[in-house]
Chain A
Amino acid sequence: MDYFVLGYYTLLIGASCLAAYYQQRPIFMLLFSITLVSFVMGIIGGKEALWTTTVVAASIGLAAGTSYGFREFLINISGRETQKMLRTAPLTASFGMFIIFTYAIMGIFAPVIAPYGEAEVIGGAFDPPDENMLLGADQLGRDMFSRIVYGARNTVGLALMATGAAFVMGAMAGMLAAVKGGWFDQLMGRTADVIMSVPSLIFALLLLSIFGTNLTVLVVIVAVIYAPRVFRLTRAVAGNVVVMDYIEAAKLRGEGTWYLIRKEILPNSTAPLIAEFGLEFCFVFLLLAGLSFLGLGIQPPTADWGSMVRENATLISFGEITPLIPAAAIALLTVAVNFVVDWMLYRSSGLKT
């Protein structure tokens, strides 16, 4: 029993007692269950397990602190209406916003932030991190940190474009189909079926082999692959809206299709579309990574997180962290986006508790 273990338990139990005294039930429950879990982990994993717990707890605490600070910051700089809305945001949502904000800064100012160019070779293969290279070097001796920063620009930019295009195409087609109905609806529906029933990787493989692999083609093809999913969702949601009385009324007023879509249907179907956006966004990342598995992704030496994971994936079997860094970058963004999406969904569902 050394000082670290002693201090660890003293702190935990002390904090739980304080929480109990001030009647902070959730905090007390959390702290005390951590204490109980720590007993078990300490016996099985020894001091190291406790150390890990401390590190994890500290990073969660840090994240929570950052999120709180960021929310206050946003509240202070925004207008009255937004302030009201932001105050309802849970910590997770502001954490999500903080991450998205960071990534956006990273992407926009990539050349300024990155200490080296994305293709610049500055060290040996897989050099460990040092004061020069924050995250070490990749397989060619390029700075990992710089490549992650550039990757934010390339990967997120591409994924945003592709997902955006998919949503514009899918949502437009879905709403049009719902409003027009009849043969147009059938045609769109069957087209979507055709695209969706061919496995996406094969579909991309066929199309990219035929049309060549430049960036525009890549974005269009990814958009075409994901548009049908958006279409189906929009069609289903809009289908429910179209039968409403107020649409009937608008039609009788003689409003055009475009007006109906813009003013009536779109505002009433944003929530599920936003939810879908959060997931589709990360599926696009994965499709891009899968494509680079077939040699069809983004052109080298452009940094792209998906390819960066793939290139060094085999190292993971030896417990090396090189491939984990870009994977973590993708995961963090996905989690962040979906935290924000959750909050928006929650707001739009009209629940108050």
Chain B
Amino acid sequence: MSNIHDKELIRRMAEEAKRGRLSRREFMHYAVAAGLTASAATGMWSGVARAEPKRGGVFRWGIHDGNTSDTHDPGTYVTRQMIYLAHQIRSYLTMINPDNSLGPDLATEWSANPDATVWTFKLNERAVFHSGRKVTSADVIASLNHHRGDDSTSAAKALLTDVVDLQADGDHAVVITMARGNADLPWLMTDYHLAICPAMDNGKIDWKSADGCGPYKIEQGEIGLRWYLSRHDGWHGEGAYFDNVEMLILNDPNARQTALVTGDVDCVSLVELKTLALLKRSRDIEIDNVASGGAITMPMHCNVAPFDNVDVRNALKLCIDRQEIIDKIAFGAATMGNDFHLAPVQPYWPEDIPQRAYDPDQAKSLLKKAGMEGLSVSISTADSLFSGAVDMCVLYAEQAKKAGININVVREPNDGYYSDVWLKKPFCAVSWGSRPTPDVMFTLAYKSDAAWNESYWQNERFNELLLQAKAELDQERRADMYREMCLLMRDDGGTIIPFFNNFVYGRRSNVKHSGSLAASWECDGARAPSRWWFES
């Protein structure tokens, strides 16, 4: 589904199928030819052929990442618990559609001036908060300002540094002025921190009351345990078929699994990959396996020996057997990485860059060239990064032995990994969430002066291209620039990317969805409660 024509073709086929002019067999045939995987095509078929959403029921949802000390402050959202909850009780200006395109949420339309420095967002006039008050420009401005200014404690501050000014244009339009052109601003507005909360008289937002304008409102709940929500009747969007949603925090993988098997919940947000094959045997359970832009990276500090030598970096990239890692760590639920941080499901993915293969011999000769035969390095990792994080490094160490490289795996404490190990130890494993566009990701972690430049990589050409691409509105030229940047990352950069992890979540088979699933978060971009329904 990489180019626009295929997308259009599939959309038309779906239309035909809906009217009954296309058989399942024909549909599958064309869809696979158009680049869909067989399972995605099956999902789509069942989606279009019998998708007639029904209202009602309590959707019980087991969630894999929650903490008792989380808060409703959108600036400090970290865990899935709060991020998912925010997608139910609050709204964003824009949202990622099930087909991964950008769609309206609170903003109905948006437009920019030619150099993409001034953006206008028109708000939906029907939108109301749970308290009954209308959503106005003042609320949007206060919500965005929450992440700006010197005294802001928001983690999303870096996202909005280029914003110079926010102005209301009447009650239902907001004008955003940027210091530099940014063609991706509407995409940025889907970031989970930028939830719209009610403004108070002093221009701050009232986040403590957990009021919002999302499809559901909180009936009762306790942080880190459970939330019980009911439908917000004045919601401005379409969907929200369930009467109630119960979110349960189930941090233990076994608890989630048994809850799903015994029917104590209708859906869980993460399935332990080790048991995936076993779980699939059950007829009552459907597994959704969705390719995402979330990446596993292994940054090497390019300013520290021996990683300051590009041959060493490339040798380390060559001595990893990605296929074995995907088979044994991700149990097949992953897309192979190619050492540039852009996944096939994301926009501007360059399809013609050859896949780097496992080649210990070439790695050996590169090391010979660098005079570093018998290289010995340490890699830091922790169990909490992702399921199998330590095992992955152990496996990598075994694979690298064939190239004469000795990798010493250091398991660091889960607690404090991102403050003490990441950006500090010269070689470590990291897990990244999906970002909507390459610009966001590259600016965040590969630009030479980025705070999170995890590999301390400095490449002038890359930085130059990044700035050019940001303000480029011509799609083809922009795609070419991203392709060149990807090549630079792959051949010069300091980050090994073994794979992009899929979202793998499970639901009881009486829970239905449209067949296409957003790849921004688990469970259809965390919007399962407002998009899915029970089959009666």
Please determine if A and B sit in direct contact within the complex, based on CB atoms under 8 angstroms apart: yes
Interface set of A (CB-CB < 8 Å, partner B) = 119-121, 124-125, 139-141, 205, 208-209, 213, 294-296, 299-301, 311-318, 320
B235 proximal to A (CB < 8 A): no
B383 proximal to A (CB < 8 A): yes
Question: For residue B382, which residues in chain A have a CB less than 8 angstroms away from its CB?
Answer: 295
In the bound assembly, the distance between CA atoms of A300 and B272 in angstroms comes to: 21
Contact A314 B398, beta carbon cutoff 8 Å? no
Interface set of B (CB-CB < 8 Å, partner A) = 253-254, 257-258, 261, 272, 274-275, 278-279, 327-328, 331, 382-384, 388, 390-391, 393-395, 397-398, 409-416
In the bound assembly, the distance between CA atoms of A295 and B383 in angstroms comes to: 6
Question: For residue A295, which residues in chain B have a CB less than 8 angstroms away from its CB?
Answer: 382-384, 411-415
Contact A119 B275, beta carbon cutoff 8 Å? no
Question: For residue B258, which residues in chain A have a CB less than 8 angstroms away from its CB?
Answer: 317
In the bound assembly, the distance between CA atoms of A29 and B382 in angstroms comes to: 56
Contact A300 B398, beta carbon cutoff 8 Å? no
Question: For residue B278, which residues in chain A have a CB less than 8 angstroms away from its CB?
Answer: 315, 318, 320
Q: How many A-B residue pairs have CB under 8 A?
A: 75
A157–chain B nearest beta-carbon distance, Å: 19
26 A-B pairs whose Cβ atoms sit less than 8 Å apart in the complex: A119-B394, A121-B395, A121-B398, A125-B328, A125-B331, A139-B328, A139-B388, A140-B394, A140-B395, A213-B411, A213-B412, A295-B411, A295-B412, A295-B413, A295-B414, A296-B413, A296-B414, A300-B393, A301-B394, A311-B391, A313-B254, A314-B257, A314-B272, A317-B257, A317-B261, A317-B275
**A301-B409 contact given A139-B274, A295-B383, CB 8 Å threshold:** yes
A303–chain B nearest beta-carbon distance, Å: 11
Question: For residue B414, which residues in chain A have a CB less than 8 angstroms away from its CB?
Answer: 294-296
Cross-interface CB contact of B397 among A208, A213, A301, A313, cutoff 8 Å: A301
Who on chain B is nearest to A126 by CB? B274
Main secondary structure of the interface of B (DSSP, over half): helix
In the bound assembly, the distance between CA atoms of A127 and B397 in angstroms comes to: 21
A306–chain B nearest beta-carbon distance, Å: 13
Who on chain A is nearest to B384 by CB? A295
Contact A120 B398, beta carbon cutoff 8 Å? yes
In the bound assembly, the distance between CA atoms of A301 and B409 in angstroms comes to: 8
A8–chain B nearest beta-carbon distance, Å: 34
Cross-interface CB contact of B413 among A208, A313, A317, cutoff 8 Å: A208
Contact B275 A125, beta carbon cutoff 8 Å? no
In the bound assembly, the distance between CA atoms of A120 and B415 in angstroms comes to: 29
Contact B394 A294, beta carbon cutoff 8 Å? no
What 7 pairs between A and B have smallest CB-CB spacing?
A295-B414, A318-B278, A295-B383, A301-B394, A314-B254, A125-B328, A121-B398
Contact B274 A141, beta carbon cutoff 8 Å? no
Contact A209 B416, beta carbon cutoff 8 Å? yes
A212–chain B nearest beta-carbon distance, Å: 9
Who on chain A is nearest to B331 by CB? A125
Contact B257 A209, beta carbon cutoff 8 Å? no
Question: For residue A119, which residues in chain B have a CB less than 8 angstroms away from its CB?
Answer: 394, 397-398
Question: For residue A315, which residues in chain B have a CB less than 8 angstroms away from its CB?
Answer: 274-275, 278
Who on chain B is nearest to A313 by CB? B254
Question: For residue B394, which residues in chain A have a CB less than 8 angstroms away from its CB?
Answer: 119, 140, 300-301
A156–chain B nearest beta-carbon distance, Å: 21
A317–chain B nearest beta-carbon distance, Å: 6
Question: For residue B391, which residues in chain A have a CB less than 8 angstroms away from its CB?
Answer: 139-140, 300, 311
In the bound assembly, the distance between CA atoms of A294 and B388 in angstroms comes to: 14
In the bound assembly, the distance between CA atoms of A207 and B414 in angstroms comes to: 14
**A140-B274 contact given A119-B398, A295-B382, A317-B258, CB 8 Å threshold:** no
Question: For residue A300, which residues in chain B have a CB less than 8 angstroms away from its CB?
Answer: 390-391, 393-394, 409, 411
In the bound assembly, the distance between CA atoms of A295 and B331 in angstroms comes to: 22
Most buried by B among A213, A301, A311: A301
In the bound assembly, the distance between CA atoms of A125 and B394 in angstroms comes to: 14
Who on chain B is nearest to A206 by CB? B415
Please name 4 further chain A to chain B contacts, defined as beta carbons within 8 Å, in addition to the given A141-B328, A294-B414, sorted by A numbering: A124-B328, A213-B412, A299-B410, A317-B261
A304–chain B nearest beta-carbon distance, Å: 11
